[in-house]
Amino acid sequence: MEHADDFDAFYAATYARLVGQLYALTGDLADAEDVVQEAFARAVVRWPRLRGYDLPEAWVRRVAVNLARQGLRRTRRRLRLLVRLAPSPPDPGPSVDGLALAAALRGLPHAQRQVLALHHAVGLSVREVAELLGVPVGTAKARLSRGRAALAALLVEPEEVDLRDR
Amino acid sequence: MTDRPDLDERFAELVQRVAEQSTAPAPAAIRRRAWRRLAGQGVGAVLLVAALITAGLAVDWRLGAAPAPAGPAAPSSSAPPTSLAPAPPTSLAAVPPTSLAPVPRTVMRAGAPGSGVIASGTSPKGMRWRLKARLGPGRGLCDNFQVAAPGTPVDKGASGEGCMGPEKDVTVSFGDTSSPGNPEVAVNGVVAGQAAKVRLTLKQQPRDHRSPVAGTVTVRPIHAPGFQVGFFVTFIPVDTWVAAVTLYDAGGRRICSQLGDDFKTPYLPGAMHCT
């Protein structure tokens, strides 16, 4: 019973934050919620062990990130079918669309978005990002650098564009 | 604008905004999901053992198959498939990065004519799948692919339907299906013309020409009565992507190939007309 109370408190304290972080990675609120819930479902059966960890949240986040990476393939399949059938209607998405960053992230190649999200939203070090993605640290750094540059271009305020045009 | 502190703040704002909108389901719902998952795994293990005992021949791993082509345009070996060797799964993670070592292959078994079921089977790791097709009025060829995690009835798994429609010059069309927890990625597609063999080149970084080939998978399309195309289904490891597709005719001659970079988007293999 004590374990159950522990888990409930941990879940209540961390769920929303993890969904926010995974949204940065997936770009889709439903997908983010799905992988976070699945990660918690895996955590609850291991809770007697996980509760002894310094940061059980890190374990859940790691599982969710891995699930999100696998889940991209499902998205790819969906995209393929949409192309076969008809042009896809725009996805309204969550109301965070109003944030320039959310929109800009959608314009980035997935590899860059992934590294940016893991580094800036999830808070992993470059080395941890490289390890998680199975790429050399140099590759992760390069993607991070290119991603920041691409993001800078996408986040340019309209006023700045006007000034340049003049 | 995008120095580290600024980006950290922007990401923090995004995370915060999403977190505020997110509603956590009750902890009891998470526990139910966990128990369903455990129950599924238990049933899956039992079903898998039973399936292997009673119908293990449905699985065909092709090991020691065609070697790497000598050059970019060289046809692959047309060696006949090794029949029904229930070998252990070959993990690409253990394959040297530059190797073209053979990878598992799934042999399709045709369904009953007129049933609409083109083929069905079980992947080497126990994923159940079923491919249906029909000629839809005004929509051309439509196929429906279903795949389910080990232990899950195929009807309860992921499914998707697509129609070829006006893409009359399509040579090959394919897509992949996976979902969290699945041990493999299912790749299914359609080939037009005389393609007798489809070779998929796999990479872990499909858009990077310099990245090493992680492996290849070769599959023979099957033809069903009433359809002018061939259908194929195969399974690839979860950490790989299809980086190129090459079609061969019955004589082992290369018909055409297409690199992943030429696909329309990095994550949209879609249809293509390769020459």
Give the chain B residue whose CA is nearest to the CA of A78.
B160
For residue B203, the surrounding DSSP H or E stretch is: strand B197-203
Average pLDDT over residues B183-187: 84
In this prediction, residue B45 carries a pLDDT of 61
Q: What is the pLDDT of residues B147-170, one digit of tens each?
A: 888 888 888 777 766 655 444 445
- What secondary structure letter does DSSP report for A118? I
- Rounded to 5°, the CA angle A36-A37-A39 comes to 65
Rg (CA), chain A: 18
- Find where tokens 């070779």 sit: B199
All structural domains of chain A, each given as residue ranges with its CATH number in brackets, are 1-96 (1.10.1740), 99-166 (1.10.10.10)
**Neighbour-count burial for B229-243, b at 16+ CB within 10 Å, e otherwise:** bbbbbbbbbbbbbbb
Q: Which backbone phi and psi does B103 adopt, to 5 degrees?
A: -125, 165
Q: Which residue has the higher pLDDT, B173 or A142?
A: A142
* CA pair distance B96, A93, nearest whole angstrom: 41
Average pLDDT over residues B216-228: 81
Scanning A116-135 for CB atoms below 8 A from B yields 116-117, 120-121, 134-135
In this prediction, residue B136 carries a pLDDT of 59
Q: How far is A30 from chain B (nearest CA, A)?
A: 10
Q: Which residues on chain A are in Cβ contact (under 8 Å) with B8?
A: 120
Out of B18, B204, B205, closest to residue A19 by CB:
B18
Average pLDDT over residues B135-139: 57
Nearest to B124 by CA among B100, B150, B102: B150
* CA pair distance A69, A25, nearest whole angstrom: 9
Q: Which residues on chain A are in Cβ contact (under 8 Å) with B2?
A: 148-149, 151-152, 155
For residue A114, the surrounding DSSP H or E stretch is: helix A110-116
| Per-residue pLDDT at B78 exceeds 50 | no
Check if the beta carbon of residue B149 is closer than 8 Å to that of residue B182.
yes
In this prediction, residue B25 carries a pLDDT of 86
> What rounded mean pLDDT belongs to chain B?
65
pLDDT band of B108, cuts 50, 70, 90: very low
Average pLDDT over residues B84-113: 35
In this prediction, residue B82 carries a pLDDT of 29
Out of B34, B174, B178, closest to residue A73 by CB:
B178
Residues sharing a CB contact under 8 Å with residue A47, sequence separation 6 or more, in sequence order: A3, A6, A7
Q: Which residues on chain A are in Cβ contact (under 8 Å) with B22?
A: 15-16, 19-20, 29, 32-33
| Per-residue pLDDT at B34 exceeds 60 | yes
Q: Which residues on chain B are in Cβ contact (under 8 Å) with A5?
A: none
Length of chain A, in residues: 166
Scanning A82-111 for CB atoms below 8 A from B yields 83-85, 94-96, 99, 101-102, 109-111
Whether the CB of A57 is below 8 Å from some CB of chain B: the reply is: no
Average pLDDT over residues B83-110: 34
* CA pair distance A75, A34, nearest whole angstrom: 13
In this prediction, residue A157 carries a pLDDT of 54
B187, two tokens = 């790749």
In this prediction, residue A85 carries a pLDDT of 36
Q: B272 - beta bridge partners?
A: B172
Q: Where are the domains of chain B?
A: 5-56, 59-272
What does B18-73 look like in DSSP terms, one character per residue?
HHHH--PPPHHHHHHHHHHHHHHHHHHHHHHHHHHHHHGGG--B--S-PPPPSSTT
* CA pair distance B222, B258, nearest whole angstrom: 21
Q: Which residues on chain B are in Cβ contact (under 8 Å) with A64?
A: none
| Per-residue pLDDT at B263 exceeds 50 | no
| Interface contact B177-A96, CB threshold 8 A | no
Q: Which residue has the higher pLDDT, B40 or B237?
A: B237
Q: Which residues on chain B are in Cβ contact (under 8 Å) with A32?
A: 18, 22
Q: Which residue has the higher pLDDT, B221 or B194?
A: B221
Q: What is the pLDDT of residues A39-50, one digit of tens each?
A: 999 899 888 888
Q: What is the pLDDT of residues A87-110, one digit of tens each?
A: 333 344 445 545 788 888 888 888
- Which stretches in chain A have pLDDT values below 50? 74-94, 97, 158-166
Check if the beta carbon of residue B199 is closer than 8 Å to that of residue B218.
yes
Check if the beta carbon of residue B238 is closer than 8 Å to that of residue B183.
yes
Average pLDDT over residues B124-145: 75
Scanning A18-37 for CB atoms below 8 A from B yields 19-21, 23-24, 29, 32-35, 37
In this prediction, residue A15 carries a pLDDT of 94
